[in-house]
Amino acid sequence: GENVEQHPSTLSVQEGDSAVIKCTYSDSASNYFPWYKQELGKGPQLIIDIRSNVGEKKDQRIAVTLNKTAKHFSLHITETQPEDSAVYFCAARPPNQGGKLIFGQGTELSVKP
């Protein structure tokens, strides 16, 4: 079955710097890759997603890139702000499995003012 690996597990950056989180997946048939942000005491919230027919997607300060050949995708956050501090999860959705998501282990991002 699908397996998702996420790195790094923790990331600390200065306010204004960029942050990059990387994930790899094992099932080449997976076709949907969302990124979730989880703040303390809350459920994960979708911040951006990308489908397998697209290589890059951007939404203001966040962007996601997908390399299908290498089976990896990355989250890029530019001009980081303290409110970006949270745990970020990548996920992959294998096909024909009802929409289940396989999550990475999470990255705890800390943005220092």
Which contiguous run of DSSP H or E holds residue 31?
Answer: none
Which residues in 15-44 contact another protein (CB under 8 A)? 31-32, 34, 36, 41-44
CA-based angle 112:8:109, to the nearest 5? 25
Which contiguous run of DSSP H or E holds residue 75?
Answer: strand 72-77
Q: Does 98 bind another protein (CB under 8 A)?
A: yes
Q: Does 51 bind another protein (CB under 8 A)?
A: yes
Q: Which is nearer to another protein, 77 or 106 (CB)?
A: 106
The answer to whether the beta carbons of residues 21 and 29 sit under 8 Å apart is: no
Site residues (CB under 8 A) for another protein?
A: 31-32, 34, 36, 41-46, 49, 51, 89, 93, 97-106
